[in-house]
Structure 1
Amino acid sequence: MSTMDRMITIHQPRRLEIGTGAAAKVGELAKGVSRPLVIASGPTAQYTDGLGLPGDISVIDDVPPEPDLPAFERVLERARAHRPDLVVGLGGGSVMDVAKLVAALWNSDQTLRDVAGPDRVAGRDTALFQVATTAGTGSEAGIRALVTDPETKSKIAVESPHLIADLAVLDPELTYSVPAAVTAATGVDAMAHCVEAFTNTRAHDLIDGYARMGFGLVGRYLKRAVEDGTDSEARAGMMLASYYGGICLGPVNTAAGHALAYPLGIRLSLPHGLANAIIFPHVLAFNQPVAVAKTAEVADALGLKNAGSEDALKAAAFEFCRDLGIEMQLKAHGANEADLSDWAEEAHAIRRLMDNNPRDMSVADVHTLYHNAF
């Protein structure tokens, strides 16, 4: 059934630069800036000089992979000391999420808890550039940012058009050094964004187009990028797939797959992409009975053979991920079977995502999927 008459709003970066060497344009586009702040993680700070930024540059290079509230507040305090007129996120999803929030809040009276939820950010008067160094979250394309609440062990989710980038840069050269294992996991995360939006209860014809392009690119290029990190075409294809996934997140968002992944990231300290990869085959197969045609499109795009039944689809998707070198069993990542029931309760309570799932999922269903992934 067509959904094109349902109203949605799409926010995209005001400017996108994509292609080999695109990062070198950042300095040119930052003319007139005097106090740029670069937010990075340890491995991504090495690309700062190549941006050609002008002025008094400050670099914060210790954003952790899954930042919690205290880690964010430490970055925010250092940003306030520098008083930037440009914030540059140089890294993966965690770095870019922190950069969004810093740009909006460093000179604001609002706290992170004040802006949690949709449309609570009062404004932003500091320019924001996002330079992606991985291909997974698509954070450079979107208006959401996530930080872990250490008290509740859940995600504080902020959504606002004031978090959109003035410039997004997708330069495949910046991903050449990403290890194969990280390339694989983040690539499946990008795919999951597209697939979960595609099969979502809030799916929209326009977003379906971006989703199809996204998981189609993953089917063509992810294995190549894993096998040869310097394959520029494959790296660019995966960055574009990730970007499309980021667009999907805005008006539609993800569903049960990401809800199930979040407790794994928090409780096991798994990287976000890896947690999503482990869960992906199980949720894809669970949803197949109520999204038959769309699931078949996904299976075809990924080259999943003989995947007509729920069990066969799960096995084929599992093999797809495992063939990329991803360790797909939770017990290999330190999980204890006794904890699965608690995690099921946590995942089921993430209603902002679970309510988007095309097939109703009970706590018992979640526990079963975790058990199957164990």
Structure 2
Amino acid sequence: MNMLTYEIPTKCYIGTDVISNFGEVIKKYGDKALIVTGRNSSKKNGSFDDVKTLLNKINIDYVVFDSIEENPSLETIEKARIIGIDEGVDFIIGIGGGSPIDASKAIGILIKNIKYTAFHFIGEKNLESLPIIAVPTTAGTGTEVTQYAIVTDNKDKCKKNMGHSVFPKVAFLDPKYMKDMNFDITVSTAVDAFSHLVEAYLNTNANFISDMYCEKGIGIFKKCLIKLIEKELDMDLRENLMMVSMLGGFAIAQVGTSIPHGMGYALTYNKGISHGVANCILYREYLKCFKNQEKVRKIIDILELESIDTLGNYLDEIINLDFRVTEEEIREYSKGMASNKGKLKNHPEAITEEEIFNIYKKSLLK
């Protein structure tokens, strides 16, 4: 048997009203919390109020930073770092989609390691964080069970993995927070979760444990895909997408993502396309690029579809995009991807810059 390591240290509480039923477990992490969230959504979906009610009930003081934008910037993370240090917080509660929870991980590192700023901690040796409590309100990134955090570096004009391992201590997964999420956000987060499953499955580092998560998650996504096509946004869909996201997170926490993620970052930064959509608009050509189609065929079989093109057509049907890109731009994106050794090494076959360019071109210049 090949050697492998396996670690998922996050304790997950799953189901409706888990915060009110199990939230007191966070008392052991300190007396003062920094709540990190976005400007609006957590206040509309009830998660923010649930967290505040819990903290008041168990007598934990808190301060709120509610200015996290989509694709959180180092500038915003720096502002939160200063507040957290000045307020003397003991732990962080990230509420929202991937952006607030990813930002919480970076902020937690910077509060615990006060000699660093947001502009100088990437690339340093692995730094520890304050305890992070995750309250996801979308089902896409799986960040509530992974060690990763993606931040936006405006100076270098790109998105970056912060490069430090921070698993949340606790995650509260409640599908009710997604009840009123609109169709476009539901799709963009759903396909993000799907991309994690696919890229972990078609990965140099894949193993029987990660494959187990991926196959189970893809099987659940099959049910979700049908409902998304029919625009049936019921609680059954919400619950299933929450599980797809979590299983995708379990998988990429072990093996990482692959080239569509690296390729998608350029589209997100330069064209404003949501992360999951930026990955999956490349999937028809990405899946076709594999010389060995055995595991690709397994994905199509689990989804009970006829072909890669059938999957591509379904993704095209639910994804709503309107943007322009030039051949010159995708040449630049391809060059950048060809130098992304971290993603390239996770792709199980050799791939050239020209092949990467062709994936972009066939996907985007139709």
**Is the TM value for this pair above 0.5?**
yes
**Distance in 2 (alpha carbons) for counterparts of 1:367 and 1:260:** 10
Is this contact kept in 1: 2:281–2:316, CA < 8 A? no
Is this contact kept in 2: 1:194–1:215, CA < 8 A? yes
Tell me the alpha carbon deviations over residues 240-263 of structure 1, each in whole angstroms, 9 at most, x when there is no partner. Answer: 111111111122111111111110
Is this contact kept in 1: 2:331–2:357, CA < 8 A? yes
Match of 1:19 in 2: 15
DSSP-derived class of the 1:48 partner: helix
Which letter maps to 2:122?
A
In the TM superposition, 1:48-59 aligns within 5 A as 48-51=48-51, 52-54=54-56, 55-59=60-64
Tell whether 2:96 aligns with 1:95. Answer: no
DSSP-derived class of the 1:87 partner: strand
Q: How far apart are residue 112 of structure 1 and its match?
A: 4.4
Match of 1:365 in 2: 355
Match of 2:168 in 1: 165
**Distance in 2 (alpha carbons) for counterparts of 1:156 and 1:358:** 22
| Number of equivalenced pairs | 353
Tell me the alpha carbon deviations over residues 179-237 of structure 1, each in whole angstroms, 9 at most, x when there is no partner. Answer: 111111211111111111111111111111111111111112244267233x2222111
DSSP-derived class of the 1:201 partner: coil
Percent of matched pairs sharing the same residue = 25
Match of 1:140 in 2: 144
Match of 2:7 in 1: 10
Tell whether 2:194 aligns with 1:191. Answer: yes
Tell whether 2:255 aligns with 1:252. Answer: yes
| Residue from 316, 322, 343 that aligns with 1:322 | 316
DSSP-derived class of the 2:150 partner: strand
**Distance in 2 (alpha carbons) for counterparts of 1:113 and 1:223:** 43
Match of 2:66 in 1: 61
Distance 1:185 1:303, change over 3 A: farther
**Distance in 1 (alpha carbons) for counterparts of 2:215 and 2:253:** 16
**Distance in 1 (alpha carbons) for counterparts of 2:119 and 2:21:** 35
Tell whether 2:114 aligns with 1:116. Answer: no
| Residue from 340, 345, 348 that aligns with 2:335 | 345
In the alignment, structure 2 segments of 5+ residues that lack a partner are none
Distance 1:352 1:113, change over 3 A: farther
TM-score, with structure 1 as normaliser:
0.88
Question: Segments of 4+ in structure 1 off by > 4 A?
Answer: 112-115
Q: How far apart are residue 157 of structure 1 and its match?
A: 1.9
Is this contact kept in 1: 2:330–2:360, CA < 8 A? yes
Distance 1:151 1:240, change over 3 A: same
Distance 1:76 1:247, change over 3 A: same
Match of 1:310 in 2: none
**Distance in 2 (alpha carbons) for counterparts of 1:18 and 1:225:** 23
Match of 1:299 in 2: 300
**Distance in 2 (alpha carbons) for counterparts of 1:181 and 1:96:** 21
Match of 1:272 in 2: 275
- State which drifts further: 129-138 or 267-276: 267-276
Is this contact kept in 1: 2:136–2:144, CA < 8 A? yes
Match of 1:29 in 2: 25
**Distance in 1 (alpha carbons) for counterparts of 2:289 and 2:268:** 21
Distance 1:222 1:76, change over 3 A: farther
TM-score, with structure 2 as normaliser:
0.90
DSSP-derived class of the 2:95 partner: strand
Tell me the alpha carbon deviations over residues 56-108 of structure 1, each in whole angstroms, 9 at most, x when there is no partner. Answer: 32222221111222122122222223222221110111111111121222131
Tell me the alpha carbon deviations over residues 262-294 of structure 1, each in whole angstroms, 9 at most, x when there is no partner. Answer: 10011112211121121222212212x32x221
Distance 1:25 1:333, change over 3 A: farther
Q: How far apart are residue 39 of structure 1 and its match?
A: 0.8
Which letter maps to 1:75?
A
Is this contact kept in 2: 1:12–1:142, CA < 8 A? no
Which letter maps to 1:18?
I
**Distance in 2 (alpha carbons) for counterparts of 1:223 and 1:18:** 24
Is this contact kept in 2: 1:41–1:95, CA < 8 A? yes
DSSP-derived class of the 2:212 partner: helix
